[in-house]
Amino acid sequence: MALRLYNTLSRKIEEFHPLDDNRVRMYACGPTVYDYGHIGNFRTFIAVDLLYRFLRQSGYDVRYVMNITDVDDKIIHNSAREGVTVQQYTAKFIQAFLDDSTTLGIEQPILVRATEHIPEMADFIAALAKKGFAYRTDDGSYYFRIAKFPEYGKLSKKDFAGMTDGARVDVDEYDKDSARDFALWKAPKQSEASWDTSIGRGRPGWHIECSVMSMEELGPSFDLHAGGEDLIFPHHENEIAQSEALSGEPLARYWFHSRFLLVEGQKMSKSLGNFFTIRDLVLRGHKPSSIRWLLTQVPYRNQLNFTFDGLKSAASSVEKLRNFRFRLTSTQFPAGANPAMAQLADETIACIKSALDDDLNTAEAQAAMFDMLRKANTALDAAAAGQNNFRQDDVKPLLGALEKFDEIFGVLKDDDQPKMKVILDWARAEGREKEISPELMEIAGSAQLADEQVNQKLAEMEAARKARKFKESDAVRAQLVAAGIIVENTKDGVRWRRKAPYKTTISPLCPVAIKLNQSEVHAPDHDTWGVVSCESCKDKFALGPNRIYGTHITPEAGAKELEDLLKADHQRGQAHANSYELKG
């Protein structure tokens, strides 16, 4: 099935066919760098990132351009207020946008800046004036004559028939009721930034910037133009008018717009206290991968309700994906293949592609992946119990499906800690220490270990344990715990994962119970209290004190608590955990 996208211009879902064979030229409106980007901005940027990744994965040769608006009314006003140049004012926020995009795993497009194209904008306006679409006012400003362009309103589907000919609007942003001839070029004002050009001194209006940069980078007519739904009018409507007035060709064939988001069911607003930048969320201890995942869960044309419970759920989803990959790559399986696993991988890849071909339906794509995880994990569990449901050659196709999925969603790489450390250091440098949460400090503030270092530590711990050097083994385990690493002994061997920032109630004095492998009949270490067997299923658990910190209860009380937990598992119909931290 060919890719089908909703086209704002036609108000229909259409098959996507590039103008030039297999080559796609796409443009997205990027940030206006007067402040840090908020989660609503980044929902759009991530939606376009997913589209770019999927087009590329589908075999297209994609040239993807995004603008940075580094001069507009807000920037001019703010830089004048602070007594700095436009370039000085925007430098910090340009870098912040680049850093935040990296934090969220957004692949960098070709970036173009408005202030680097001022002469071209002036020449563009002069050409419009020559054709009668623009006129100059007494103060040296230039305006676009809307009455000269009969198709004005075709993108936003607004009726401008009653608009007064020759009435003008100076500001960059306005609503339908204020629609007038809009500013292409603004005459200089005292203490405001301006440039000397072929049409005189002044500065560009916001809308002309994207017309000039998109056409310069992609030609007078290209495949796709993207942005948030707030840009449909007036920004994109004005882009179409001034671009097509000059070229006589459609500016873009497909117009791609993402919906606004809500925060906890309300419109995001600083006055409501629910306005969040990416950095605000990381300062609260939320992982970048969780933020990215949550912003992809709802298809781009549907309204997303951004909640903190949703962030916790997103963190769990990402952890499940990473744990599945670890389980596949760290377990030894018998030789051979189970054809059902290869078929499952192929069906999953096909379902994901079908979902994304259907107007980038991310929810359906994610559901297909988690259906694969559920079925594959069932087979892995059966294999761990001695059944031949999973074989060595089954790993490659399932990993291939997982990696193909991650080419689009980009959350498998466990690089949250160094990214969060960057924001931690930024907060300290900016004097925002009071906003640094304990959860962030737990993840990014301590001496964190890279994946390779964790695996090396585990190998050292296991070697020491097998040599019965228990103090040495315990010391390595303590280092891993201090670095936020949870070590689990399973039937498939030792596994590890990074501690989630949401579980902060574990007491260091708790006794511990670890599930034994089927071949083990005694507790593996010298200082355990003994082995406790489940009365119902006969699973065995080594029970003992927390060897790192000690324990404050008796062995008898610990055994009784563990027996009650195991009974409760059966009453709820759930499998036993691989380990338990007892309350004592």
Best CA proximity match to 321, nearest among 278, 374, 357, 390: 374
Is residue 171 predicted with pLDDT exceeding 80? no
Q: What is the dihedral of CA 436, 438, 444, 447, to 10 degrees?
A: 130
Q: Give the whole-angstrom CA distance, residue 443 versus residue 59.
A: 38
In the chain, % helix, strand, coil (3-state, to 5) comes to 45, 15, 35
| H-run or E-run covering 82 | helix 73-82
Contact 6, 13 (CB under 8 A): yes
Q: Which residues contact 519 (CB under 8 A, 6 or more apart)?
A: none
| pLDDT bracket for residue 191 (50, 70, 90) | confident
Q: What is the dihedral of CA 111, 113, 114, 118, to 10 degrees?
A: -110
pLDDT digits over 257-297, tens only?
999 999 999 999 888 889 999 999 999 999 999 999 999 99
Strand partners, 67: 112
| pLDDT bracket for residue 552 (50, 70, 90) | low
Residue position matching structure tokens 């995001």: 268
Q: Give the whole-angstrom CA distance, residue 400 versus residue 418.
A: 27
| pLDDT bracket for residue 507 (50, 70, 90) | very low
Is residue 86 predicted with pLDDT exceeding 50? yes
pLDDT mean over 431-449: 85
Structure tokens at 237: 């409507």
Best CA proximity match to 373, nearest among 337, 390, 351, 348: 348
Share of the chain above pLDDT 90, in %: 68
317 torsion bin: left (phi>0), alpha (psi -120 to 50), beta (else): alpha
Structure tokens at 536: 């119902």
> Could you say which DSSP state residue 225 is in?
E
Contact 382, 338 (CB under 8 A): no
Which domains are seen in the chain, by residue range? Answer: 4-258 (3.40.50.620), 505-584 (no CATH)
Structure tokens at 317: 């989803």
Is residue 217 predicted with pLDDT exceeding 90? yes
Amino acid identity for residue 461 in this structure: M
pLDDT mean over 355-377: 97
Least confident residue range of 55-59, 320-324, 467-471? 467-471
Is residue 163 predicted with pLDDT exceeding 70? no
For position 319, what pLDDT does the model report? Answer: 94
Contact 322, 371 (CB under 8 A): no
Strand partners, 181: 168
| pLDDT bracket for residue 175 (50, 70, 90) | low
| pLDDT bracket for residue 508 (50, 70, 90) | very low
Contact 433, 427 (CB under 8 A): yes
Is residue 378 predicted with pLDDT exceeding 80? yes
pLDDT digits over 15-42, tens only?
999 999 999 999 999 999 999 999 999 9
Least confident residue range of 177-181, 211-215, 386-390, 465-469? 177-181
Contact 52, 26 (CB under 8 A): yes
| pLDDT bracket for residue 491 (50, 70, 90) | low
Structure tokens at 68: 């940075």
For position 363, what pLDDT does the model report? Answer: 97
Best CA proximity match to 333, nearest among 402, 395, 403, 399: 395
| pLDDT bracket for residue 505 (50, 70, 90) | very low
Give the residue, 224 or 523, on which the prediction is more confident: 224
Give the residue, 301 or 172, on which the prediction is more confident: 301
Is residue 550 predicted with pLDDT exceeding 50? no
For residue 387, count CB atoms less than 10 angstroms from its CB and return exposed for 0-12, middle for 13-18, buried for 19 or more.
exposed
pLDDT mean over 376-400: 91
Beta strand segments in 69-156, E: 110-113, 134-136, 142-144
For position 422, what pLDDT does the model report? Answer: 95
For position 479, what pLDDT does the model report? Answer: 84
Contact 411, 289 (CB under 8 A): yes
Give, rounded to a whole angstrom, the gap between the first and last alpha carbons of the chain.
Answer: 58
